[in-house]
Amino acid sequence: MKKASLLIIFITVVLSLPLTMLFYRSINILHWINILFACALVVTVIGSVMLLIHVGFFQGFIHNFKYFFKKISKTEEVVNQVERKELTPSISSINLPIRYPLLIAGGILVLFSTIISMILLI
């Protein structure tokens, strides 16, 4: 997990340099820190969404929508009665092993860029 987090940090830092040139047309430490902060937020949000999907936060909503649409569909109701099926579909969990390294790397980069920007403002 440490290697994956370090690799994500390295990729984010390296990717932030060309993005700084693209958006600001010059490399300045303050501009680079701003872009690094934005990249770190994107990494953190991606890791958070992956964690929510893995935990199954939305499975209740998905199950209820499937149940609702099967219940209001007359043909589906007739098919279920003929086949004697239950209306409780099984929902599988998705394993996303990269979620924690993304969260750790994003958090470290957000803290780093926030501290450096505060130091630069003083």
Residues 21-76 pLDDT 10s? 999 998 899 999 999 999 999 999 999 999 988 888 888 888 888 788 777 777 77
Contacts of 1 (CB under 8 A, 6+ apart): 100, 101, 104
The pair of three-digit structure tokens given for residue 102, joined into one six-digit string: 């993304």
- Residue 63 φ then ψ, to 5°: -60, -45
Nearest to 12 by CA among 45, 35, 46: 35
Q: Report pLDDT for 29.
A: 92
Is the pTM higher than 0.85? Answer: no
